[in-house]
Every structure is written in structure tokens, then in C-alpha cells.
């Protein structure tokens, strides 16, 4: 029997609006709080939680950036001659993604998504390392660097394993008392929400499953640890997409050419532009100002969201759509999906949630990067008390 286990469970996309009117976790984590998320996708939310830093500090923001000199994808350009019927098929993309990931030795999450092969040589991919490992951030340390440095034995999810496998692997580590701290990452709810939307009965059904799994983890932990510090949280929420925006057609109708005049990445809720001449900058800016479904995010606002990159690494102009609008087709997908995240952090469905079995959540824990502080404090407490002796 050990004194303390720090148990941190991230349920991807389990936003405040998802659980606000649901009893999720009330039995084992009755203290709950709404947290502000981060402007961007999981590609920046998760690293922000793991590092306690903001996008401008850790530089894990959006996946694809215009950087032809550093592009590792040049060899894929020859695939542009393949018929779209083949290259736009999800199964082909998935196979190629695995092949490219292995060949380029990428350690993080990687997906070629829907980037056209005709332009793939223009882009670099920004998550070459895994933020779930020590040394995994683009800049600065994360919680795993901290745990290694402090010699705190820990468990972390393997993203290649299923949710159930990760749960069972953690239970095994709990049973043999080899850890003081755990970071468990469940991604299933995010995938479900993208498919069925946030008002489907499948959503509370999935929450009930997670409750059972957490009860299983707690039952094991109670056999081996006298005090369990449990935190269940999300990285962002999820909004239903009720309006589609074909931004690509509008931009391509301008008398400009991609690669010659401008470069763009169409994410599903934002478009990021790099301009190769002033004429392109003027025409595109004017066109975007005529799109009622979104707006150009001013620099001051990006700065307030800690996402103003002075070197414009992730784009010179960021266009963001309103909550509920989906850019389709985009470089993330050819077809519409039911729900999406990555809207403005103060939009209703963007907010994340934090639940715990502790009596209170500190007042200065208001946004998802603050979860890292709770992880560090809990890890240190567990180590200190566990080193002091078994109970
Ligand atoms: Zn998602």
C-alpha cells in the first residue's frame, strides 16, 4: 500500500457544455469548473496542458506551415499525377500517412489529411516529436521532463493503443504499485462527437462508459493507495456544424495563383495565409472581408490569445469562422462532419472542463495550461509522501 496516487484523466472534447447538464463524474469527482481553452486544435491544446505554457511559448500550434525549404514531403509531389479518385480516398491517405510517418521518423501524431500532393512540397509538419514524451515539445519542457527530472515514476497513455488497452495498462501499473502519477488520455469521445454532434444520445451513453472505466480504475487504486488525487478534464469542447463555407472556391476565383502569389492552409475552422506579393495580400484581404461567416483575427486579439507569432511562422493572416461554420472542402477534409472545435476560445462550445475529487479548485486555475501546475504539485506531493513510507 502506498500513500498517494496522482491520477489525471484527459477526456478529449469533454467540454463544459457537454457535461454542464449531465451528472458526469458527480459520484467520484463532484468539484467541477469551467476552463478556458486555447485558440487552435488539439495540436495546441494538448501541448499547452502538458507544458503549462501558451502557444507562442511552446510553438506547438497548427500542424502544417508554409516552409518549402524545410519540407520533408518533396518526394510525395510525384503522387500529384495519380487520379484524385485514388488520392482523395481516405483509405489511401491513411496507408500513405503510416508509410510517411515511419519513413520520416515522426514521433507525434501525424496525418496527411487532405493536403493536395500538388502543393505538399510547400509545407512542413510541426509536430515531429510526441508531446506525450519527455523532450516532446517544440520549445521548452513538458510535464514528462519534469517527472523524469524529479524522479517521479509515472504512467502515460500510448496513443497507438485503444482506450481500453490504456485503461488496462494503467490498472496493471496501479496493481504493482510502480507509479506515483498517471496521465491517461482517452480520445474516443472526440471522434464520436465529430461524427454524431453534441446533442446525440450517444454522447451521454459514452459518458456513462467512461464513468464505469474510471470506477474500475478507482477500485484498483483504492486497493493500493490510501489517497487518490483524481482530476478529469478536457482540452476543448465541441460545436455542431450547421453551415458549410466553401472558402477555397472563393479564393480560387480571384485572379491569383497558389504558390506564385500566395500559400494557404485551410484548416476546418480557420484559413492561414502567406503572401508572396502585395497584390495578393490586398485582393485576398478584401475578399475575406466580404465573407460574413468569419473574420480576419486582428494581431492584438491573437496576442491576447497568446497566438501571435512574430515571425508569422503559422501564417501572416488568420481568418477564423464563426462557431457552427465549417470550412469544406478544407485541407483537413473533403467532406462535411457533424461537429468541430477550433473556434474562438470564448465561443460557447469551446470551453473545457475540470472535475476533481479534491474539495476545491484554486481560483487562479482558469485556463487549460493551468492544469500543468496541478499535475506538478500533485506529482511532487505523491513522491514526497510515498518516499516517506508505505502506510
Ligand atoms: Zn477533434
Range of the domain at 89: 64-125
User: Does residue 314 fall inside a structural domain?
Assistant: yes
Report CA(306)–ligand 1 centroid distance (Å). Answer: 21
Residues 129 and 137: beta-carbon distance below 8 Å: yes
185 and 95 in a single domain? The answer is no
Q: How far is the CA of 340 from the centre of ligand 1 (A)?
A: 7
Instruction: Give residue 199's pLDDT.
Output: 96
| 248 CA from centroid of ligand 1 (Å) | 22
Residue 132 domain flag? no
**How far apart are the C-alpha atoms of 40 and 283, rounded to whole Å?**
26
Q: pLDDT, tens digit, for every residue of 126-143?
A: 888 899 999 999 999 999
What is the reported pLDDT for 108? 65
Q: How many whole angstroms from 222 Cα to the centroid of ligand 1?
A: 33
Are 230 and 355 in the same domain? Answer: yes
Global model pTM greater than 0.95: no
pLDDT in tens, the chain (391 residues): 999 999 999 999 999 999 999 999 999 999 999 999 999 999 999 999 999 999 999 999 999 999 999 887 777 777 666 767 666 677 777 777 777 777 777 666 666 667 777 888 899 988 888 999 999 999 999 999 999 999 999 999 999 899 999 999 999 999 999 999 999 999 999 999 999 999 999 999 999 999 999 999 999 999 999 999 999 999 999 999 999 999 999 999 999 999 999 999 999 999 999 999 999 999 999 999 999 999 999 999 999 999 999 999 999 999 999 999 999 999 888 889 999 999 999 999 999 999 999 999 999 999 999 999 999 999 999 999 999 875 5
- Residue 187 alpha carbon to ligand 1 centre in Å: 8
Cα 36 to chain centroid distance, Å, stands at 14
CATH number at residue 52: 3.40.720.10
User: Is the same domain home to 162 and 308?
Assistant: no
DSSP 211-244: HHHHHHHHHHHHHHEEEEEEEEE-S---EE--EE
Q: How far is the CA of 2 from the centre of ligand 1 (A)?
A: 36
Q: What is the grid cell recorded at 84?
A: 484524385
- Kind and range of the H or E element at 272? strand 270-275
Short-list 260, 256, 269, 238, CA closest to 331: 269
Asked, for residue 208, whether it belongs to a domain, the answer is yes
* 35 and 178 inside one domain: yes
Task: Give the model's pLDDT for residue 276.
Answer: 98
Q: Report the DSSP pairing between strands 181-186 and 2-11.
A: parallel
Helix (H) or strand (E) holding 121: none
Total domains present in the chain: 3
114 and 28 in one domain? no
Distance from residue 120's CA to the centre of ligand 1 (Å)? 23
Distance between Cα 4 and ligand 1 center (Å): 33
What's the pLDDT score for residue 267? 94
Q: Could you tell me the distance, in angstroms and rounded to a whole number, from the CA of residue 75 to the centre of ligand 1?
A: 29
CA 190–ligand 1 middle distance (angstroms): 5
Residues 327 and 247 in one domain: yes
194 Cα to the center of ligand 1, angstroms: 7
CA–CA separation, 55 and 95 (whole Å): 30
pLDDT of residue 389: 76
pLDDT of residue 87: 67
Contacts of 101 (CB under 8 A, 6+ apart): 110
Residues 178 and 323 in one domain: no
Bridge-based pairing state of the strands 64-66 and 123-125:
antiparallel
Strand residues in 26-72 grouped as ranges (E): 31-35, 64-66
| Shared domain check, 260 and 120 | no
CA atoms within 13 A on the CB side of 96: 18
Q: What element of type H or E holds 325?
A: strand 325-327
Predicted confidence at residue 18, as pLDDT, reads 98
Strand-pair partners of 339:
240
* Angle value at C-alpha 307, between 349 and 120, nearest 5 degrees: 95
If you measure from the C-alpha of residue 257 to the centroid of ligand 1, how many angstroms do you get, rounded to a whole number? 31
Average pLDDT, the chain: 93
Is 130 inside any structural domain? no
DSSP line for 339-370: EE--S-TTSGGG-EEEEESSS---TT--BGGG
What's the CA-to-centroid distance between 88 and ligand 1, angstroms?
20
| Grid cell for residue 327 | 470550412
The pLDDT of residue 102 is: 73
The C-alpha cell of 230 is what?
483524481
For residue 217, which of 270, 179, 244, 189 has the smallest C-alpha distance? 179
Do 200 and 269 lie in one domain? The reply is no
pLDDT value of position 19: 98
- E strands along 31-153, which residues? 31-35, 64-66, 123-125
Q: How far is the CA of 235 from the centre of ligand 1 (A)?
A: 10
Backbone angles phi, psi at 86, to 5 degrees: -90, -50
In the reported structure, the alpha carbon of residue 11 is separated from the centroid of ligand 1 by a whole-number distance in angstroms of 11
Mark whether 52 and 145 lie in a shared domain. yes
Single out the residue of 49, 350, 31 nearest to residue 198, CA to CA: 350
Residue owning grid cell 491517405? 93
Domain containing residue 328: CATH number: 3.30.1360.180
Q: Do residues 19 and 87 both lie within one domain? A: no
Q: What are phi and psi of 276, to 5 degrees?
A: -100, -5
Phi, psi of 66 (to 5 degrees): -75, 110
CA of 332 to the centre of ligand 1 (A): 11
Distance from residue 127's CA to the centre of ligand 1 (Å) = 16
Give pLDDT, residue 322. 98
Amino acid at each position: 500500500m502506498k500513500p498517494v496516487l496522482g491520477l489525471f484523466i484527459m477526456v478529449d472534447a469533454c467540454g463544459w457544455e457537454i457535461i454542464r447538464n449531465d451528472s458526469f463524474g458527480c459520484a467520484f469527482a463532484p468539484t467541477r469548473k469551467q476552463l478556458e481553452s486555447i485558440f487552435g486544435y488539439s495540436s495546441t491544446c494538448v501541448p499547452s496542458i502538458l507544458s503549462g505554457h501558451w502557444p507562442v511559448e511552446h510553438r506547438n500550434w497548427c500542424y502544417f506551415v508554409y516552409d518549402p525549404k524545410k519540407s520533408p514531403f518533396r518526394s510525395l509531389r510525384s503522387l500529384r499525377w495519380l487520379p484524385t479518385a485514388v488520392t482523395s480516398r481516405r483509405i489511401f491517405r491513411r496507408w500513405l500517412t503510416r508509410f510517411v510517418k515511419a519513413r520520416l521518423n515522426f514521433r507525434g501524431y501525424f496525418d496527411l489529411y487532405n493536403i493536395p500532393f500538388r502543393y505538399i512540397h510547400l509545407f512542413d509538419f510541426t509536430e515531429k516529436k510526441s508531446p506525450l514524451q519527455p523532450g516532446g515539445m517544440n520549445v521548452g519542457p513538458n510535464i514528462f521532463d519534469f517527472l523524469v527530472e524529479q524522479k517521479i515514476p509515472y504512467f502515460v497513455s500510448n496513443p497507438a493503443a485503444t482506450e481500453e488497452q490504456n485503461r488496462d495498462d494503467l490498472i496493471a501499473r496501479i496493481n504493482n504499485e510502480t507509479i506515483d502519477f498517471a496521465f491517461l488520455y482517452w480520445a474516443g469521445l472526440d471522434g464520436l462527437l465529430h461524427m454524431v454532434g453534441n446533442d446525440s444520445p450517444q454522447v451521454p451513453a459514452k459518458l456513462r462508459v467512461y464513468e464505469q472505466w474510471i470506477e474500475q480504475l478507482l477500485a484498483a487504486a483504492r486497493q493500493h493507495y490510501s489517497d487518490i488525487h483524481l482530476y478529469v478534464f478536457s482540452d476543448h469542447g465541441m460545436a455542431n456544424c450547421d453551415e458549410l463555407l466553401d472558402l477555397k472556391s472563393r479564393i480560387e476565383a480571384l485572379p491569383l495563383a497558389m504558390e506564385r502569389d500566395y500559400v494557404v492552409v485551410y484548416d476546418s475552422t480557420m484559413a492561414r495565409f502567406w503572401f508572396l506579393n502585395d497584390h495578393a495580400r490586398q485582393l485576398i484581404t478584401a475578399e475575406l472581408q466580404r465573407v460574413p461567416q468569419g473574420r480576419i483575427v486582428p494581431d492584438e486579439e491573437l496576442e491576447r490569445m497568446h497566438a501571435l507569432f512574430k515571425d508569422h511562422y503559422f501564417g501572416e493572416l488568420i481568418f477564423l469562422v464563426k462557431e457552427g461554420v465549417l470550412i469544406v472542402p478544407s485541407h483537413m477534409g473533403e467532406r462535411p462532419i457533424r461537429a468541430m472545435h477550433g473556434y474562438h476560445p470564448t465561443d460557447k462550445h469551446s470551453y473545457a472542463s475540470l472535475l476533481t475529487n479534491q474539495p476545491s479548485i484554486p481560483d487562479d486555475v482558469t485556463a487549460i495550461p493551468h492544469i500543468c501546475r496541478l499535475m506538478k504539485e500533485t506529482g511532487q506531493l505523491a513522491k514526497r509522501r510515498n518516499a516517506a513510507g508505505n502506510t
